[in-house]
Structures are given as C-alpha cells and as structure tokens.
Amino acid sequence: MTASVLLAGCDTDQVSLANNAKANQPVPPKLLAAMVEKDMDLQSPILVRLFKQEAELEVWKQTRNGQFALLKTYPICRWSGDLGPKVREGDRQAPEGFYSINPSQMNPQSAYYLSFNTGYPNAFDKALGRTGSQLMVHGDCSSRGCYAMTDEQIAEIYSLGRESFFGGQKAFQLQAYPFRMTPVNMARHRNNPNMPFWKMIKEGYDHFEVTRQEPKVDFCEKKYVFDATRAPDAKRDPVFDASAKCPAYVIPEDVVAAVRGKQARDEAEYAKLVAKGTPVARMNTGIDGGMNKIFAAKIPEGSTGLSEGAEGTTLQMLAMAKAPGTIPGHVNPPKPNLDSVASAPAPQEEPVVAVSAPATNARVAAVQPAEKPQEKSGGFFSNLGRKMGMGSSETTATTPPPQATASVAPATTTPTTAASRLKAAVTRFVPGHDKSKEAAKEAAKPAATVAAKPAEPAKPDTRLAQTRPTLKPSVSDGASEATQIMGAAPVVSSNSFESRFGAVK
C-alpha cells in the first residue's frame, strides 16, 4: 500500500515514459560518445526534423553553449502519401509543419514497438478544418500516414526523447518538411500547388538554420508566425489565435537580419536555377510515399518511391551495406497506384519515326519491308525448323491476316516465325549460302497469285512445349520476343543453333 502511494506521488509522465523494458533501453554507447565529442549532455533538450523526399529523420541536441547541433541522421524506412501536408482523415498523408511533443505523447505500449504522437492536427491545421488522428513516428517499417522507422531506430530515438524529458524539457519540437528547403528543391517543385504552404514553413526552417535555436511557433490569420515577441510599447505578451487577426508583435532585429540575408541568397540562387531551366519535378502519378534507399536496396523489387534514389550508385551496390535495423517480412515498399496511372493522360513525346507502324508491342526502330506470305508447304527451312522442334506456334498468338478483297493485297507485316528466324540465321551464319536466287524467285511470283490465296492460320505445334523445359527468369526478364526491336535479327546462341545445324552442313 505504501508503495502504491509513493508511486501515485511520482511524476506520472516519467512513469509512463519507461514502464517496460523496451521503453527503458539505455542510450547506446556510440551515441553517448558522440555527445561527449559534440559537447552535449545526456539530458539536454532535443529537436527533430523530418524530410520526406530525402527519407531522413534528424535528431538535434542542445550543446553546452545553448545552440543545437546535429547528433544523428536516421534513414526513414517508410512514409506514406505524397509530398504536401495532411488534409483529412484517411488520405494516407504524413503531416508537414511544426508540432510539439510532450511526455504524454510518448507511447511505450505501442503496437509498433515504440512510438510518439506527432500532435497533428495543430492549431494551424484545425483553423483550416483539417482532420486526422494518431499520426505517429513509430517502428515496424509500416506506414498509413505515419513516419515509420525500424524497431532499433525508434528505440534510440525514444531513449533520446525520454532522457531530454528527464532532464527537464517540457516538450521537443518536431519539424516535418516535404524536402530540405534548399534553392534547388524549391526550383524543382516551383509548379507544385503546395508551394505557398512550403514557403510559409520555410520561414521557420530559415529561423532554425541561422540561429540554431528552436524557433518559437505561433499561429494567427491561418498562418505560421515564428519567434514573435512583445512589442516594445506593449504591456503584456501577444495572444495568438490561429483563426483570429494577428496581435501586435515584433521579431528580434538580429534574427530578422540573419533570416532576410539567408532568404536573399536563396532567392538569388533560385532565380539562377529557374533561368537556367532547372527541370520541374514530376507530379505524383499515384506512388504511395517513399522509402530510404538503404532499405529499398534490401527488398526484392524495392523502390524509393517519392524519395530520392541513390546518387552515383545503384540499389544493387547499396544491397551490400548494413541496414540500420531489422526490416520486417511484411514491409510494403512504395508502389504506383495502377488505377491512377491508367487513368492519367499519356505524356506527349516526340515520335520515334515519322511513319505509321502496325499495332504491336514491338518497339519500332526502322521501317521494316513487307515480307511475302510463306507458301503453305513451308519449304525446306520451315520443315527443318519443325523437325528441330521449332514449330510455327508463334503465329497462333497473333491476329490472322485479313482476307484479301482486291486483286492486289496491301503490304502487311508478317509476324516473325521460328522458321523465318531459322532462315535468317542460316543466311547470316552459313558460308556460301546465296540468298539472291531465293530473292529472284520471290520477286518473280505475281502479286495476284499471292493475294488470291490468303495465308491460312498455322496450327499450333505442341512439340516445342513437350521437348523444351520452361526457362527460368533472368535479370533481363521482359526483353522477350514481344519487345524485340522490329527488323532486328534474333541472336541465336552457338550451343543451340550450330549443334543442330551442324548435321546439315
């Protein structure tokens, strides 16, 4: 009973912060060593910044001189939605803006290992009628409007927040951005409809960049206000209401000067980039969120989605690097919304050629001359192909040629068959083979004879499937016959063609 009374008299926030083994893990020795190197105390205040496009979470910590310094950058395993703020419940958007995290928002009993609530919606969001709840930074690498880390990462971040609260910090600031607010990124996204909002929160980004102090955040007239203080002639501090008119306030002159200087440099660089024709970033075509490249490299068919990919390297190269934590088997990498992509208008591109091409999946690199329909008997090469198991079943997968309605048939493109590929290979690789005689014979045939006797659709030859096992997919899967460049001769491997044709040399 006495123990219960003592427990009830304790700081309930501290009790809730570390009431199990997961929430009570110590700060790792490497982080402690980094704090010593950077002149930080274990329980000094922290500040967190998030960047969607870069898929990174930064933990800043106050040094003994009173300014914040970067302690560690964590790659984000998964975030959902698009670049831009969260607007309504269920839109899968991860929030953007400035939020305050107090001890009551830390959740040691989270279903996602450990977590803390971002505090969305803040007063600004509410003033705009934005809705949503339970937007977290948590573990498990799974997101539906959250910022998801690995369990090992959130354990470290949680321990840093816990120690800052134990050291007396009442709340730490969370700054969430679509990307690092640099002139390059602002130029790339200059046509994005969210740009007015991004320019507004960039003001707070700039305040932190030049002062290395946590900016004081207020709201009025449905906008953010940073580092506002009492006017010199005012008798009390200004009272802010996100939906009401702004009260009289001032911003310290040294802060104003430093911020304006930075913004002038940024705007000059931005103007140069736009004048130089910096490409505009493509708008979201239905991709759901992003993932840091270090995690995408560890997942089969992994993708960074709306986050930045690896610069100067590939995901295959990053696959050898150690992942910062355990990636769960149920991880869901960013994938395009196929319904959105299908309904989106096709981009306008310059045509590859200026001539009409047949409706087919093949890529046209040059105009292919029309082939003459093959004789019904197939000839020597067709018979040879069938004997070798290369039946003409490919023709059954294509649309049969239309029946001729005039004495002269229009030139059509005949689908490439196994026999024709064999004949082409013989022409290319067999010494002494003279194709001029065959060409003369083909040219001597009257066109009317060809048109009067339309080609019959060939019957599928099942011997090919019976004699050959199914091929295993390779790295270049997808470069199949359907995507072969029209007019190009197929490459025949030496161990298959020569061994078969050697008997007829």
Catalytically active residues, by annotation = 138, 146
Residues near 488 by beta carbon (within 8 Å), at least 6 away in sequence: 365
The per-residue b/e assignment along 293-330, b for 16 or more CB within 10 angstroms, e otherwise, is bbbbbbbeebbbbbbbebeeeebeebeeeebbbebeee
Contacts of 104 (CB under 8 A, 6+ apart): 13, 16
Residue 240 DSSP label: -
DSSP character string of 401-440? PPPP-SSSPPP-PPPP-HHHHHHHHHHHHSTT---HHHHH
- Token digits for 289? 């969120």
Q: What is the DSSP letter of 241?
A: -
Q: Tell how far CA 282 is from the center of its chain.
A: 12
Is residue 482 a contact partner of residue 398, using CB atoms and an 8 Å limit? Answer: no
Q: Which residues contact 437 (CB under 8 A, 6 or more apart)?
A: none
R_g of the chain computed on alpha carbons = 34
Q: Crossing angle of helices 418-429/494-501, nearest 10°?
A: 80
What's the angle, vertex CA 148, arms to CA 146 and CA 152, rounded to 5?
Answer: 150
**Closest listed residue to residue 157, CA positions, set 51, 33, 73:** 73
Q: Count other C-beta atoms under 10 Å from residue 118's C-beta.
A: 27
Helix, strand, coil tally for the chain in percent (to 5)? 35, 10, 55
Beta bridge partners of 50: 57, 176
